[in-house]
Chain A
Amino acid sequence: MTYQAEVVVSLKPVVNDPQGLTVRAGLHQLGFTEVTGVRVGKHITLEVEGSSEAGVRERVAEMCERLLRNPVIEDYTIELRPPAGATTEAPPPA
Chain B
Amino acid sequence: MRFGIAVFPGTWSDRDCARAIEVLGHESVYLWHRDHDLAGVDCVILPGGFSYGDHLRTGAVARFAPLMESVQEFAASGGLVWGICNGFQILCEAHLLPGALTRNASLEFRCESVWLRVETSDTPFTRACETGAVLAVPVSHGEGRFVADPSTLDRLEAERRVAFRYVARDGSAAGDASPNGSMRDIAGIVSEGRNVLGMMPHPERAAEPLLGSGDGLRLFGSVVEAVAERGAFATSSP
Write the residues of chain A forming the contact surface with B, with a CB cutoff of 8 angstroms: 11, 14-16, 18-19, 22, 67-68, 70, 72-73
List residues of chain B with CB within 8 A of the CB of A73: 100, 102, 147
Instruction: Please tell me if the beta carbons of A70 and B103 are within 8 angstroms of each other in the complex.
Output: no
Bound together, the chains give a CA A35 to CA B181 distance in angstroms of 25
Task: List 9 other contacts, CB 8 Å, given A16-B181, A72-B147.
Answer: A15-B102, A16-B147, A18-B106, A18-B107, A67-B60, A70-B100, A72-B98, A72-B99, A72-B100
Bound together, the chains give a CA A73 to CA B100 distance in angstroms of 7
Instruction: Please tell me if the beta carbons of A15 and B56 are within 8 angstroms of each other in the complex.
Output: no
Greatest chain B CB density within 10 A among A16, A18, A72 is at A72
Cβ of B126 < 8 Å from any Cβ of A?
A: no
With both beta carbons as reference points, the residue of chain A lying nearest to B183 in the complex is identified as: A16
Chain A nearest CB from B142 CB (Å) reads 11
The main secondary structure of chain B at its interface with chain A is loop
Chain B nearest CB from A18 CB (Å) reads 5
Instruction: Please tell me if the beta carbons of A68 and B100 are within 8 angstroms of each other in the complex.
Output: no
Bound together, the chains give a CA A53 to CA B98 distance in angstroms of 35
Write the residues of chain B forming the contact surface with A, with a CB cutoff of 8 angstroms: 56-57, 60, 64, 92-93, 98-100, 102-107, 147-149, 181
List residues of chain A with CB within 8 A of the CB of B102: 11, 15, 73
Q: Which 7 A-B pairs have the closest CB atoms?
A: A72-B100, A73-B100, A18-B105, A18-B107, A70-B100, A70-B57, A18-B103
List residues of chain B with CB within 8 A of the CB of A67: 56, 60, 64
Bound together, the chains give a CA A16 to CA B56 distance in angstroms of 19
List residues of chain B with CB within 8 A of the CB of A22: 107
Instruction: Please tell me if the beta carbons of B99 and A16 are within 8 angstroms of each other in the complex.
Output: no
List residues of chain A with CB within 8 A of the CB of B98: 72
Chain A nearest CB from B59 CB (Å) reads 9
Bound together, the chains give a CA A24 to CA B106 distance in angstroms of 15
List residues of chain A with CB within 8 A of the CB of B106: 18
